[in-house]
Chain A
């Protein structure tokens, strides 16, 4: 049952993510079988299942929804006699014109730049795993960690609009509602988070030597 890695010559082992027990990796020829941690029963995998497929699916879906998120109104404000729809870029433009450059920059980074960056970064990570496996592994690993850290902050806009919609309810005088764009935008953020989560950084290091810098 003992196996050794073809490249490094080291024994193939699996770490349990749940209890930390390291066990010998088995070779299963037959499909439809899984390895379980002998101590806690956690399923042991060398990499996350279908990591690339799932990442790709989420990235593509996020990229697709990114278009309506920007094109459609995110927030719908209705005052006594005015019905206004605000898109993300329109809001940033208004802030910029009003002179709130810092606020415009924050909203731009949180709502436009970060989702775009995440989609691009995840796409790059997923593509390089298959096509450029040896290219700048260390930087790619860092990029992944960055994407994962930054991920939650894009929900800023969603929070703002949801809070406004919940608080600004003055009947016919004024009300704020979420537009279709907000749903798309939320979907984009959630999908990029799923993509980050489903991507397995171990894929970057497949067949890599022990020294990351030398890879």
Chain B
């Protein structure tokens, strides 16, 4: 450290000048050679370092691009990052409104290494935290805020202005796999990102869905990751695997679920029925129906429906569209509509039920039946069955809820034929339901019951009771007297009984003792009598002679 220049140089001092000649002389020694120019290495190195730093930072800065979004929700200048596969490739440096104030322009400074992202077919979207199906995604953004996701383009034409996507793209470019289309009537708890399972293993995800307003149907797109698309065959069945499938049957209670995630968040599962040995892998974008559960998905296909009309002369309360059409316990169809009709001749309101019967559900029986009518078709089969006595009947499916179903059964009765309506539906003859037969009988009973003159009976009963109560009232003073008498008598009786017990029942009572003595006396008497009779038997003469004097004992 330099010493502070606190004064002018020493030669200026007069005191030193005075002692001029007395001063000692310095030694003269050889100096080491110093290269003067060496010191200039310092700024040279500094320049080199600074230049390299600046050049590096300049080269690290890649192109600056502009991305247009509908809203800059969550995007912050200087904070929001641009990431590709979770690697930061740039940063938002500015957010501005378009001149027309309709859209937002996000200015992004890309890193030099990400310069190749500024090409035509690169897409950008804003990633926000999503707690959705199949887990929580973008959890990092909860703390760091949203970031801009990127899907790298492959084009070679560079570009600096982009239009950002409002939704993340379904599938990233180059992600191996295939997309299939599912048609569903209900989305259930499915959402974008819901897992797709095959044998309870996740093999893909739902990547999007749209509500097709024209077809009134939902179109889901699922992405099956490679190499699993080969599992999707033309025979594959997809079903909504959300929730828990509880089945209670004769075999007990069985619970069928997919993974826990799908219980909570929903999912799609698919399977190929085992009979599909000749199944070929389905091409990409094949359309499959999405069934509600596994059972209906794996059930044999229903085929075309045969419409049937039935007219019931009874209340159909409990019969709803969708109720089963049941043939001897096998569900072969569904009720489509239930509507009132008016029969002008009879002045009645029969209920017209239109139902769909799926002949395919009969299985192998159907082909036998078709052979029976020489291949004239399902309608002919049905007509023949009706001719043989098949009738539709309403039956109670559930006693608690009163749900009805339509049973097709052979019911004895007059032969009738099934006519065919203009629209091709078969008019099925009906039989009154078991419950509806019961109803008139019950009504009759009720009528009879109502004929009983409950009023008169009641009146008579009341007068009788009134007179009875009067008689009791009159009777009462004497009755009270009599009661008092009875009470006294009872008291006396009790006293008597007590003395009786004292005198008789007690073992030490005199009666007892006397009786005992009398009995002993009686015993002795009887013994004496016996002795007498014995003696008389041996010595009857004693009656006349009297008893001889006793012989001396040693006489024998």
Contacts and interface: CB of A to CB of B under 8 A. Distances in A.
Interface string A61-94: 1101101100110000001111110000000000
A144 B5 contact: yes
B299 interface: no
B49 A184 contact: yes
Contacts of A33: 28-31
Contacts of B364: none
Interface in B340-388: none
A58 B42 CA distance: 7
B141 interface: yes
A49 interface: yes
Interface in B17-63: 17, 20-21, 23-31, 33-34, 36, 39-43, 45-47, 49-50, 53-54, 56-57
A26 B26 contact: yes
Given A10-B12, A61-B42, A210-B12, A23 B57 contact: no
A68 B50 contact: yes
Given A37-B26, A50-B39, A11 B88 contact: no
Given A60-B43, A64-B50, A82-B79, A50 B25 contact: no
Nearest to A195: B42
Interface string A8-43: 101111110100011111101001111111100000
A158 interface: no
Contact of A50 (B28, B31, B36, B144): B36
A38 B47 contact: no
A134 interface: no
A8 B2 contact: no
A28 to B, nearest CB: 6
Contacts of B88: 83
Given A12-B11, A205-B9, A23 B2 contact: no
Contact of A1 (B25, B33, B41, B143): B25
A44 B26 contact: yes
Given A82-B144, A197-B2, A202 B25 contact: no
B1 interface: yes
Contacts of A82: 79, 81, 143-144
Nearest to A68: B53
B46 A38 contact: no
Contacts of A201: 2, 4-5
Contact of B53 (A8, A49, A184, A209): A184
B554 interface: no
Contacts of A180: 53, 56-57
A15 B25 CA distance: 12
B237 to A, nearest CB: 42
A191 interface: yes
A48 B53 CA distance: 33
A12 B23 CA distance: 11
Given A13-B16, A65-B49, A68-B50, A35 B26 contact: yes
For chain A, give the interface size range.
Answer: 35 or more
A81 B53 contact: no
B329 interface: no
A141 interface: yes
A139 interface: no
Contacts of A37: 26
B29 A2 contact: no
A21 B24 CA distance: 10
Nearest to A140: B5
A171 to B, nearest CB: 15
Contact of A61 (B5, B11, B25, B46): B46
B398 interface: no
B57 A72 contact: yes
B8 interface: yes
Which among B1, B10, B26, B81 has the greatest number of chain A C-beta atoms within 10 A? B26
Nearest to A44: B26
A197 B16 contact: no
Given A53-B39, A58-B43, A202-B5, 20 more contacts: A11-B11, A13-B11, A24-B25, A26-B25, A32-B33, A35-B27, A50-B36, A53-B36, A53-B40, A58-B42, A80-B143, A82-B79, A84-B79, A144-B5, A184-B50, A187-B49, A191-B46, A199-B2, A201-B4, A212-B8
15 contacts: A17-B3, A23-B24, A26-B26, A28-B28, A33-B31, A34-B29, A38-B25, A57-B41, A64-B43, A67-B50, A68-B49, A72-B57, A187-B49, A208-B8, A210-B13
The 4 closest A-B pairs by CB, nearest first: A81-B144, A61-B46, A201-B5, A210-B12
